[in-house]
């Protein structure tokens, strides 16, 4: 019986194979459990323990979602610029409104000159 050489698959990649692990994702479970425990502790009035558990859960969730956090962190300056633009527009609108209000107040509360008062009393 001749020894056969192992077949090479055309689609096989060179190098070590990374085996997909379908086991339970313990980091997500621990993050969720910590967040739930923190919420329950906060609701029962145990603030320090609740905050510690919530902070632990948040940290674990952030460790699990590093790529997403990097994406958000990269987009954050754009959002800050948009908010600054909106605040500038609101400030400009408020200043315009204040100027119009002041000019209207001056028109409505204008005091009569003595000549106008004399003319009004003679009429």
Whether 17 is covered by a domain: the verdict is no
| Number of alpha carbons in the 13 Å side-chain half-sphere of residue 16 | 3
pLDDT in tens, 38-67: 999 999 999 999 999 999 999 999 988 889
Whether 3 is covered by a domain: the verdict is no
Whether 46 is covered by a domain: the verdict is yes
User: What is the 8-class DSSP label of residue 116?
Assistant: H
Which domain range does residue 64 map to? Answer: 24-68
Whether residues 33 and 62 share a domain: the answer is: yes
Whether 114 is covered by a domain: the verdict is no
Number of domains making up the chain: 2
Whether 1 is covered by a domain: the verdict is no
Whether residues 62 and 98 share a domain: the answer is: no
Per-residue pLDDT at 64: 87
- Is pLDDT at 92 greater than 70 in this prediction? yes
Contact 120, 112 (CB under 8 A): yes
Distance CA 2, CA 20 (A): 35
Whether residues 80 and 60 share a domain: the answer is: no
For the segment 85-94, the average pLDDT, to the nearest whole number, is 96
Whether residues 64 and 82 share a domain: the answer is: no
Helix (H) and strand (E) counts for the chain?
4, 0
Whether 104 is covered by a domain: the verdict is yes
Whether residues 29 and 58 share a domain: the answer is: yes
Q: Residues in the chain, how many? A: 123
């Amino acid at each position: 019986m001749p020894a056969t050489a192992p077949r090479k698959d055309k689609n096989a990649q060179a190098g070590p194979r990374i085996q997909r692990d379908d086991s339970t994702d313990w980091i997500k479970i621990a993050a969720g459990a910590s967040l739930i425990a923190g919420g329950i502790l906060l609701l029962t009035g145990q603030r320090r323990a609740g905050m510690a558990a919530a902070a632990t859960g948040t940290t674990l969730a952030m460790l699990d979602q590093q790529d997403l956090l990097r994406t958000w962190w990269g987009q954050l300056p754009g959002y800050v610029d948009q908010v600054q633009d909106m605040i500038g527009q609101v400030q400009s609108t408020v200043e315009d409104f204040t100027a119009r209000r002041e000019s209207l107040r001056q028109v409505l509360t204008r005091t009569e000159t003595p000549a106008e008062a004399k003319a009004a009393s003679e009429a």
